[in-house]
Amino acid sequence: MKVLVLYTTVDGNTEAVAERISEKVGADVSKIVRVNKIRGYGLINKLRARFEVMFNRRPGIFPFKWDPRDYDLIFIGTPVWYDSYNPVFNTLFEVIKIYDRKIALFSTGETEDQKALDKFSKKLQDSVILGRYHCVEPIWEDEDLETERILTEAADWAQGIADQAEKMIEQEEFERRKTIYKF
């Protein structure tokens, strides 16, 4: 089974989760990097970010390493931006249609709110969504132990998803052979 972790990050929280997931399940990793970075969160930049989310803007992104359509299972991760996913995914979804894949979604945010994952799920409804995981800013926990606990929890969640996807693929292959060889 081919597994990809596709994510974006600004300050490193989502990246920490993405890295842990990829290590645990042995996945390739594609990071989506925007061309015009938003540097710092002064008033102007906050307004710019909010505008991009509100109006579904598609900021330019650099080409990324792996094409998600080549994978059986794709973990997709985003920082929460104004109750939504990061606008770089508007650009990605415009360029690449992701459908008929097994998908698992993750996000990191300031709060426990999962609205961004709801929107993500809607956007990816032509695929099978096997699960969702959200956590609060893991790398900014005061205690390293707490950071570690969150990242371990994320990795265990991802392993459960990968096991489930593997079983589904085996079953699909079995059904396919049954149809072809009529047993």
Ligand X SMILES: Cc1cc2nc3c(=O)[nH]c(=O)nc-3n(C[C@H](O)[C@H](O)[C@H](O)COP(=O)(O)O)c2cc1C
Question: Which residues contact ligand X by CB under 6 A?
Answer: 9-15, 41, 46, 49, 79-83, 108-111, 113, 137
Helix (H, G, I), strand (E, B) or coil at 84: strand
Token pair listed for 171: 């079953």
Give Cα separations from 173 to 114, 124, 148, 168, 177 (angstroms): 34, 24, 37, 9, 6
Q: Which is nearer to ligand X, 51 or 174 (CB)?
A: 51
Q: Which is nearer to ligand X, 22 or 108 (CB)?
A: 108
Query: From the CB of 36, what's the least distance to ligand X, in Å?
Result: 14
Give the integer Cα–Cα distance in Å for 88 and 28.
20
Give the integer Cα–Cα distance in Å for 180 and 183.
8
Q: Which is nearer to ligand X, 14 or 90 (CB)?
A: 14
Give Cα separations from 175 to 98, 167, 178, 179 (angstroms): 24, 12, 5, 6
Query: From the CB of 19, what's the least distance to ligand X, in Å?
Result: 11
Query: From the CB of 122, what's the least distance to ligand X, in Å?
Result: 17
Q: Which is nearer to ligand X, 13 or 30 (CB)?
A: 13
Query: From the CB of 115, what's the least distance to ligand X, in Å?
Result: 8
